[in-house]
Structure 1
Amino acid sequence: MVYKYKKLFEPVKIGNVEIRNRFAMAPMGPQGLGDAEGGFNQRGVDYYVKRASGGTGLIITGVTFVENEVEKHEMPGVPCSTYNSIHFIRTASEMTERIHAYDSKVFLQMSAGFGRVAPPLNENVPPIAPSPIPNRWVDVTCREITKDEIHHIVKMFGEGAVNAKRAGFDGIQIHAVHEGYLLDQFAISFFNHRTDEYGGCIENRLRFAREVVEEIKKCCGNDFPVILRYSPKSFIKNWREGGLPGEEFEEKGRDVDEGIQGAKLLVQYGYDALDVDVGCYDAWWWNHPPMYQKKGLYIPYAKMMKQAVDVPIICAGRMDNPDLALSALDEGACDMIGLGRPLLADPDYVNKLHLGKTALIRPCLSCHEGCLGRMVKNGSLNCAVNPEACREGINFLTPALKPKKVLIVGGGVAGCEAARVLKLRGHEPVIYEETGRLGGNLIPGGVPDFKEDDRALIAWYENTLKDLGVEIKLNTKVTPEVVRNSSVDVVIIATGSKPKIFNLGDNSKVFAAADVLCGRKQIGDKVVVLGGGLVGCETALYLKKIGKKVTIVEAMDSLLALNGPSCFANMGMLLALIPYNHIDVLTSSKAVKTTDKGVLVNTEGSGKREIEADSIVFAIGYNSNKELYNSLKYEIPDIRLLGDARKVSNIMYAIWDAYEVASNL
């Protein structure tokens, strides 16, 4: 029998470096993985090594800076190969040696800087940029970088690359003529208004990027590969305003024709491969695609690059479906598959695929809660579904000293994660689930077509628990008496939460979002969704997509003001999709009562109005369901409360809390 995914495991060359398979770990911000001297801390070393041991052929590190004078960076932020070169080489050498033990290669991603997309460190130090243009995040005009500063940065690229080569890196990735970072700002005429040799025609705007690769080749030799992160299209409608999939608009950034022209020049200048995506900080949901973007969204652009230049093309962007990845190679769209967040979720992705264990690959949700969201809010890279990500030397499971029998009430995410961890450690967990399937609130949450990975996570828990031999009792309601009569050592209550609903008078056409999403309640063609948080907005978008006329009524003065995504890419795209899909919105508004025609709504400042509706859908949050826990907490010696039953939150904290408790029982 011919192995279906054989092509994904064939070797490929970038320059003279042979990579054992077609998988590259896409670069992701390494916040929390560097130390105060610009080296890799132990977390960073363990993190990258784990992805190599999981079978990934090429590891590309997250961004590292080449200097800390022209653009100041707080330390420790991310590694810097020139800040303390001896220390960098020492810490990086440990990492590259261990990565090479698994026959993987590793490239260091080096950055010229963030430019206008960096939040100002303080109001007296404006960010740099090619020209005096607006900062992405705040109302500040950037300072134009000087030619001497450009020359300094170029020189530091050479020095940093020498240090990387000494530390055992197999090549360099340049960050980046993509996403609107500093090199990209020079390349895009919308940002670059210079009249010197670094502005004007496309050759001048790419001069900075050209000088970088030429300096590295001069310092490290032509046989030391240098690849480029490259976006052939920006999707910029205007300052801080991005285009949506399928939307017609005038491109203010780099469009495809110039993207092809630029790619040809960059390869001519000496870049050995292009790592392709699209987007910009002004359209961040392209570079960091949420679940609202389709799988494989960069494939058409990668194929354009493949047809334009004769160097290897890497394509990432929700490429975790192996059939999609294989088809991209077969149709000549790319030479390598970039996996970013999927390798956060499951560092053993490649090995599991090679062994045919695809059902046991833990899926990425494209939620950005643990990765980009936490990087922005907490300064650390993590993963919502994998509590061990970036904590490999801290969060790891050890065998139980004394195996225990554990009764778990509730088969939602928290209950499933607790059972998984307990079983791996040698305990004997049993899940009791009142309904006919596992998943809890993931079941209604996974109904919309754009939430396919929520459904995949349920399937992963089902398959994983079956593979581990965890006993599961479905359609089994647990009463206090059942618990009292059980002969177990520990009881875990993970009974989840219940939707909030309040009385609107005639409640015959009032439904909880979960009941509507699961098809337990049928609704009419005109729907009012009460609540403009994450559940409300996603429910509204789903209902609109199936043909309903939808109005969102939100008590706050804006959508997603409470319980929105923590990552701006997700939040920004969802907020843009609401008006794009012609969903009506009333903010600072509250439903008063149902009427014969619909619902009466009181809007702050404009009074009451009647909205015509066949159905009113509640999406105003959840209340913890801890009745069983409260009835037993003084009777059971060792009883734990997990997930929404403890505190209503999101998938990430349900998983993380369950992992924490179960790993220490």
Structure 2
Amino acid sequence: MSFPAVFSPLDLGPFTVPNRLIMGSMHTGLEESPKHFDRLATFFQRRAEGGAGLIITGGVAPTDAGRAMPGGAAMLTQEDADCHRCIPEAVHAVGGRICLQLLHTGRYGFHPNVVSATEQQAPISPFAPHALTDYEIQREIAGFAEASRLAELAGYDGIEIMGSEGYFINQFTSPALNNRTDQWGGAAENRHRLAIEIVRAIKDVVSPQFLIIFRISLLDLVPNGTPWEEVETLALALEAEGVHLFNSGIGWHESRLPTIASMVPSAAFSDATARLRKLVRIPVAVTNRINMPEQAETLLRDNVADLVTMARPWLADADWGKKAQNNQVADINTCIGCNQACLDHVFVGKAVTCLVNPYALNEHKLKIIPAEKPRHVAVIGGGVAGMSAAVEAAQRGHSVTLYEKRDRLGGQFQLAAAIPGKEDYAQTLRYFETRLAALGVRVQLNRPVTVEDLTTAQISSVILATGVNPRVPDLPGVDLPNVVRYDQLLRGEVAPGQRIAVIGAGGIGFDVCEFLLHCDAPVTDKAAFLRHWGIVGEGNAQGGLAQPQPHHATRHITLCQRSTHKPGKTLGKTTGWIHRTALKMGGVEHLVGIEYERIDDAGLWYRKDDTLQCLAVDQIVLCSGQESELGLMHDLQAAGFDVKVIGGAEKAAELDAKRAIRQGVDAAMTL
């Protein structure tokens, strides 16, 4: 076995887990309605079957005031407990263990009845909270106890108390917010009182076999946040009250520092977890951007933690644990930290799934059913849409040939993997290539295909996934040697200049700017990342903050756009601010609301406010959109082939890997 530490059992007190893998809490968008609980039960059961030693559900409020939104998930009544029962039953049926996370949002709630330690409004909520009185605090504590009692009645094996990420309990424990002058605020002893009283109240109403996890904020990552000595004081007090396990909490939601996005290095904040583990005698779990077995094994072997908490990796692959235990690491569909189908969905009220795994939370309707009449299928184009379609078709028993005109698979995803901070995107390509080989898909590289080729091969169905070509604007001088397309730059066909104009401020334009900023000096190793953003995991710095030491590129980069809206407006809901901040830290300049006139040896000429100006640069990079590659379409249709068009070939205007991979699955299902 390659990962002996990961797959060793651990006694948590109330029970023993078979391995050190925790599936961490993720809100799925399904917790609010019991009509979706069967779907959740199937989702969690698959992860228990796939090797998760312990599962923690998405957050459920312990009181009405603690809901995330009007009608948000809560555990308040016997009826609530009865509705939940199917979830632990499904997990227990396959030998798994599952805990309910109790999450009181406090001032982070999106409803008018939010409450907190003070009246200070959160920057991420439109509602100002009510500052609780002593009586009202006692009522919220009682709510935690009752919710825990109901969770045990529902069949859960324990609860995780959310005491971090800037939620309700953290709003009391941290000096960043709690400036009360009564017994619930001021001195650390008073600020810690709420957390301690909640644990005491819960212990009074649950059995000794009921697991109590506390997610403790190790690094608030906000100004005037909790100093380390107070983290230690709180941890020791909670241990003395009978908490069985600490889970690591990193950063508040309002913090302007990335903690789980793709550019965060593996286990970037594990030093804080290691400090906690040296202090307490109960097990401690490490978390944040751990997505492969080698990383987990190293953290456990080096005594950083006793368990490893991963959330989104279990979205990406339900069998993550089983594959790791069987030493099938290359078969793991790896989480790339993109947030596009998980967190971005949550924040717009959509059900969660996964960009690299459309089956996630769709297990109830997406099933691999063998084809009644296997066909000889040609997939033309080896980007993620084509690879997804080829894998899915082969899994259903079709004979599949995948044609790719370049010398490697990956398409636009291959370019994305060249961006510093997106290196994990290459893991998706590794996964697909492993599956293609295992399923016997014939992959033909450097192979521009013709209708005659398909006729000769007796192809019966064609999936056209030829992707996109970069759009070249109709601009005088665009054919000069100092003008390059983004794909030429990212493939290394052209070296970066020193004074550069990037035309187009969409996602690709931002990616190109980050490439230009960091291609010579990446900040993707842990130490460089922490210095760059101003984070410390040692000492007693308040909230874990230090003075940032950002990397400034030696190049002069200007990002240009025609529209007048804020640069990066169309970027991801939960990651756009990170990319905008990164470019600002790197010194990238913006030209907004301009009209391009021409390009010549002097640089880029543009008009702004009716004034003609020249941006003196030695290189112009075109990120001005894409056009679908449909050169084969007419010939295929004329020859009578049944053609399904997917990915960028189907719609270039909204280049979207999430849509492309799902379309690959759907196209193969209809064969």
Deviations 1:281-306 (A, max 9, x none): 1126545x111111111211111111
Question: Following the alignment from structure 2 to structure 1, what is the Cα–Cα distance between the partners of residues 396 and 230?
Answer: 55
Contact 1:107 1:171 in 2 (8 A): yes
Contact 2:28 2:342 in 1 (8 A): no
Shift of 1:562: 5.0
**Could you tell me which of 624, 627, 634 is aligned with 1:623?**
627
Equivalent residue of 1:602, what SS? Answer: strand
Equivalent position of 2:184 in the other structure: 198
**Could you tell me which of 266, 283, 286 is aligned with 1:312?**
283
**Could you tell me which of 113, 130, 144 is aligned with 2:131?**
144
Aligned residue runs from structure 1 range 320-339, under 5 A: 320-339=291-310
Shift of 1:472: 1.1
Equivalent residue of 1:152, what SS? Answer: helix
Equivalent residue of 2:469, what SS? Answer: strand
Equivalent position of 1:587 in the other structure: 592
**Could you tell me which of 506, 510, 523 is aligned with 1:533?**
506
Equivalent position of 1:6 in the other structure: 4
1:180 paired with 2:170, answer no
Name stretches of at least 5 consecutive residues in structure 2 with no aligned partner: 521-553
Question: Following the alignment from structure 2 to structure 1, what is the Cα–Cα distance between the partners of residues 12 and 610?
Answer: 63
Give the residue type in structure 1 aligned to 2:640.
I
Residues 286 and 187 of structure 1: is their aligned pair in 2 closer, same or farther, counting only changes over 3 Å?
A: farther
Contact 1:33 1:43 in 2 (8 A): no
Aligned residue runs from structure 1 range 352-367, under 5 A: 352-367=323-338
Shift of 1:346: 0.3
Shift of 1:418: 0.5
Shift of 1:271: 2.0
Question: Following the alignment from structure 1 to structure 2, what is the Cα–Cα distance between the partners of residues 284 and 264?
Answer: 29
Shift of 1:324: 1.9
Deviations 1:608-658 (A, max 9, x none): 432222111011221111232244335425211001000122111101111
1:50 paired with 2:13, answer no
Equivalent position of 2:119 in the other structure: 132
Contact 1:277 1:298 in 2 (8 A): no
Contact 1:536 1:619 in 2 (8 A): yes
Contact 2:331 2:435 in 1 (8 A): yes
Question: Following the alignment from structure 1 to structure 2, what is the Cα–Cα distance between the partners of residues 406 and 597?
Answer: 52
Give the residue type in structure 2 aligned to 1:591.
Y
Equivalent position of 2:153 in the other structure: 166
**Could you tell me which of 267, 276, 282 is aligned with 2:239?**
267
Contact 1:435 1:475 in 2 (8 A): yes
Equivalent residue of 2:424, what SS? Answer: helix
Equivalent residue of 2:493, what SS? Answer: coil
Please tell me the root mean square deviation across aligned C-alpha atoms, in Å: 2.1
Question: Following the alignment from structure 1 to structure 2, what is the Cα–Cα distance between the partners of residues 543 and 417?
Answer: 30
Deviations 1:148-206 (A, max 9, x none): 3322222122222122212222211002x211111111112222232222111112112
1:468 paired with 2:421, answer no
Equivalent position of 1:35 in the other structure: 33
Residues 136 and 509 of structure 1: is their aligned pair in 2 closer, same or farther, counting only changes over 3 Å?
A: same
Residues 65 and 593 of structure 1: is their aligned pair in 2 closer, same or farther, counting only changes over 3 Å?
A: same
Residues 661 and 378 of structure 1: is their aligned pair in 2 closer, same or farther, counting only changes over 3 Å?
A: farther
Contact 2:331 2:434 in 1 (8 A): yes
Aligned residue runs from structure 1 range 251-650, under 5 A: 251-283=223-255, 285-287=257-259, 289-506=260-477, 507-545=480-518, 546=520, 547-558=554-565, 560-561=567-568, 563-565=570-572, 567-568=573-574, 570-603=575-608, 605=609, 607-633=611-637, 635-648=639-652, 649-650=655-656
1:18 paired with 2:16, answer yes
Contact 1:127 1:135 in 2 (8 A): no
Q: Which moved more, 1:583-592 or 1:524-533?
A: 583-592
Give the residue type in structure 1 aligned to 2:601.
D
Equivalent residue of 1:41, what SS? Answer: helix
Equivalent position of 2:217 in the other structure: 231
Residues 234 and 662 of structure 1: is their aligned pair in 2 closer, same or farther, counting only changes over 3 Å?
A: same
After TM superposition, the score normalised by the length of structure 2 is: 0.90
Contact 2:30 2:36 in 1 (8 A): no
Question: Following the alignment from structure 1 to structure 2, what is the Cα–Cα distance between the partners of residues 321 and 72?
Answer: 31
Question: Following the alignment from structure 1 to structure 2, what is the Cα–Cα distance between the partners of residues 560 and 478?
Answer: 40
Equivalent position of 2:76 in the other structure: 82
Question: Following the alignment from structure 1 to structure 2, what is the Cα–Cα distance between the partners of residues 342 and 232?
Answer: 22
After TM superposition, the score normalised by the length of structure 1 is: 0.91
Contact 1:528 1:553 in 2 (8 A): yes
Contact 1:277 1:301 in 2 (8 A): no
Shift of 1:118: 2.3
Q: Which moved more, 1:528-537 or 1:457-466?
A: 528-537
Question: Following the alignment from structure 1 to structure 2, what is the Cα–Cα distance between the partners of residues 613 and 130?
Answer: 53
Question: Following the alignment from structure 1 to structure 2, what is the Cα–Cα distance between the partners of residues 381 and 105?
Answer: 22
Equivalent position of 2:108 in the other structure: 117
1:661 paired with 2:667, answer yes
Give the residue type in structure 2 aligned to 1:10.
S
Question: Following the alignment from structure 2 to structure 1, what is the Cα–Cα distance between the partners of residues 297 and 88?
Answer: 29
Contact 1:54 1:348 in 2 (8 A): yes
Give the residue type in structure 2 aligned to 1:108.
L
Contact 2:61 2:68 in 1 (8 A): no
Contact 1:61 1:109 in 2 (8 A): yes
**Structure showing greater relative contact order (alpha-carbon pairs closer than 8 Å, 6 or more residues apart):** 2
Equivalent residue of 1:8, what SS? Answer: coil
Question: Following the alignment from structure 2 to structure 1, what is the Cα–Cα distance between the partners of residues 439 and 593?
Answer: 50
